[in-house]
Amino acid sequence: MQRAPSRPLLAGVLNVTPDSFSDGGRFLDREAAIEHGLALAAAGADWIDVGGESTRPGAERVPAAVQRERVLPVIEGLRARLELPISIDTTLAAVAGPALDAGATVVNDVSAGREDPELVELVAARGAGLVLMHMRGTPADMQRDPRYDDVLGEVRAFLGERLAACRAAGVAAERLWVDPGIGFGKTLEHNLALLRGLAQLADLGAPLFVGVSRKSFLEAVRRAEGLGPGADAERLGGTLAALLFCARAGVAVLRVHDVARAAEALAVQRALEGARDTAQNRPPR
């Protein structure tokens, strides 16, 4: 596998939700959320990814008004104190537009612009960035027996189609990222196949944005290998191994919860490989 020419960006996860799978409810309070975002930045995050709706398996939908109530004060508070790029994790233009007004510069859409066509038009008109993710079904039903004939080929074709549609709608090519959607309507073997095939996804011509942090497939690997229960609920060992694998595969952006430990692991990897400490593919500010 070819080594990435420079280190990936770290997108620190800031869930302003009561029910996210790993930190739901911890940062519902505005000040707690802002402080956590500042801590992520201090730990080495290159941007902050803010979301007001959980996309964990089985999650229920959150109305746009509730999402706005959760995320806008946090984005405004972070923008007043940070120069880092901020992304809004939403599928709705009614949330993305106000979030961009509040200081976000990227929209992270797990539906890849399919749920709300107005979102793509909004991103194009505002000159914002857009992350396009593959998901089979919806968060409510995506893990109910997901099936593919060729998961890598199907995900690659989907992302290619969505890239073409967004470019045709006027989204600047340099402001698009693609995400294979690890854990979103995939089994363990599907997830592993996608990670092993990252180079083929990179051939689409857009930088890769990947989230493996704390995902349940890491625990599934433990069970498949006959290991005992994980040492911690954060699945740190598996997360770091997967992050380093993605970095070597050339992934541009890694969405992570534990920024400090991810940054340390990547720094040691770069030192061992003699790579320069430079980031790549920065999102628009």
**Domain map of the chain by residue range?**
9-273
Q: For residue 60, what pLDDT is reported? A: 80
> Which CATH number applies to 9-273?
3.20.20.20
pLDDT at 7 over 50: yes
Q: Which long-range contacts (CB under 8 A, 24 or more apart) does 266-273 make?
A: 266/7, 266/8, 266/10, 269/244, 270/7, 273/3
| The token pair that represents 48 in the structure block | 């902050």
Region for residue 56 given its phi and psi (left: phi exceeds 0; alpha: psi -120 to 50; beta: otherwise): beta
**Quick one: pLDDT band at residue 5, thresholds 50, 70, 90?**
very low
In angstroms, the CA 54 to CA 74 distance is: 16
CA distances from 169 to 41, 162, 265, 277 (A): 33, 10, 39, 36
252-270 mean pLDDT: 96
The catalytic site residues sit at 215, 255
The closest alpha carbon to 84, from 30, 134, 37, 17, belongs to: 37
CA distances from 43 to 15, 51, 67, 104, 166 (A): 17, 20, 26, 20, 33
pLDDT digits (tens, 9 = 90+) for 18-60: 855 555 556 668 899 999 999 999 999 999 999 999 887 777 8
Q: For residue 75, what pLDDT is reported? A: 98
pLDDT at 281 over 80: no
In angstroms, the CA 269 to CA 244 distance is: 8
pLDDT digits (tens, 9 = 90+) for 129-182: 999 999 987 777 667 777 899 999 999 999 999 999 999 999 999 999 999 999
Contact 51, 88 (CB under 8 A): yes
Strands (E), the chain: 9-15, 47-51, 86-89, 106-109, 129-133, 176-179, 209-210, 253-256
pLDDT digits (tens, 9 = 90+) for 207-227: 999 999 999 899 889 888 888
Which residue is it, tokens 């959760």? 70
pLDDT digits (tens, 9 = 90+) for 175-195: 999 999 999 999 999 999 999
Q: For residue 23, what pLDDT is reported? A: 54
